[in-house]
Structure 1
Amino acid sequence: MANIIKVGEKAPDFKLQDQSEKEISLSLFKGKKVLLSWHPLAWTAVCTDQMRSLERNFKQFEEKNTVVLGLSIDSQPSKSVWARVLCLNNIKILADFNPLGEVSRKYGIFREDRGSSERANILIDENGMVIWAKLYEIHTLPDVAEILEQL
């Protein structure tokens, strides 16, 4: 398994495109908490369930002053179509595609042997510090209630 970023570390800033081709950076959300929810590959069953679960619980995250960002190494055009198919209207899903896995490498969760990220959730506080980080087995769906408890 990867060497995930540690609680108490400063979260590396990044600039990635979301499903709408909008450039998103972590620094845009200063003053809010941010959930970085990493899924290895779009169009796979557990990754689909993971993003749908976050979308269903969007209001609960919003009530806790938390922005939800889903990330994977898929390209922006793929993320755009996938978001439309899944009806992801509230959460942003970002393409860590070019250069491949650059952001997931900065967070210590890129898997060279698979060419994708781990499945992981990383919570960042209002000042850009990591407050919770968890890796999951590749076929395990993260529990949204567990994430919400950390907020």
Structure 2
Amino acid sequence: MTNKIKIGETIQDFRLRDQKREEVHLYDQKGKKVLLSFHPLAWTQVCAQQMKSLEENHELFAGLNTVPFGISVDPMPSKKAWARELGVTYIKFLSDFWPHGEVARTYGIFKEKEGVSERANIIIDENQKVIYFKKYPGHELPDIKEIIDVLKKHQ
């Protein structure tokens, strides 16, 4: 599968619902940087660590004018229960459940055979241009320090 995410290009818009059933429109975030942190499935160990690292750094993200989102193909009720289980209150978990994996497919990071997204981080700037894109092996926890360094570099 070819990547549809290219550094310097404008990211394609989406609308997804979060764990509170609230609609999130990507282009409403214009004027802020956005971290789209894709993870394959809720309720798994590495995905939990990935989402907790976003929550633990929520103040730092705010100080860097950045809105982080956790995104997977899990349905909203699962996202809600998982956020509660993890103690996540600041980070929005977006459900790319239906049409199944549509946003991940649009960005070229959907794994057809498994029915989940790749583990990936995409950072867009205040004008919705991609400034960072990285895929990770499924078992590898993304380095939050690397993400923060990229955000600091693009202040």
Instruction: Determine if the TM-score, normalized by the shorter chain, exceeds 0.5.
Output: yes
Deviation by residue 1:29-64 (Cα, 9 ceiling, x = unmatched) = 110000000000000000000000110011111110
What is the Cα deviation at residue 28 of structure 1? 1.4
Specify the SS of the correspondent of 1:70.
Answer: strand
Is 1:45 aligned with 2:45? Answer: yes
Report SS of the residue matched to 2:9: coil
How far did 1:87 drift? 1.0
User: Unaligned stretches of 5+ in structure 2?
Assistant: none
Structure 1 unpaired stretches of 5+: none
Deviation of 1:113 after TM superposition, in Å, equals 1.2
Pairing 1:76–2:76 present:
yes
Counterpart contact for 2:4–2:106, Cα < 8 Å = no
Q: How does 1:57-136 map to 2 (within 5 A)?
A: 57-136=57-136
TM-score (norm 1): 0.97
- Report the AA paired with residue 145 of structure 2: A
Q: In percent, how many aligned pairs have the same letter?
A: 57
- Give SS of 1:71's match: strand
Shift of 1:4: 5.1
1:95-137 C-alpha deviation (Å, 9 max, x unpaired): 0000000001111100101100000000000001100000000
**CA–CA distance in structure 2, aligned partners of residues 85 and 10 of structure 1:** 35
Counterpart Cα distance in 2 of 1:67 and 1:138: 23
Paired residues of 2:16 and 2:24 also in contact (CA < 8 A) = yes
- Aligned partners of 1:25 and 1:84: how far apart in 2? 23
Are 1:110 and 1:118, in contact at CA under 8 Å, matched by a contact in 2? yes
AA matched with 2:34: V
**TM-score normalized by structure 2?**
0.95
1:5 equivalent in alignment to 2:2: no
Moved runs in structure 1, 4+ residues, more than 4 A?
A: none
Name 2:55's counterpart in structure 1.
Answer: 55
Give, in whole Å, the separation in 1 of the partners of 2:20 and 2:133: 27
- Alpha-carbon distance, 1:6 to partner: 1.2
Query: 1:28: which partner in 2?
Result: 28
Q: Tell whether the 8 Å contact from 1:16 to 1:23 is kept in structure 2 after alignment.
A: yes
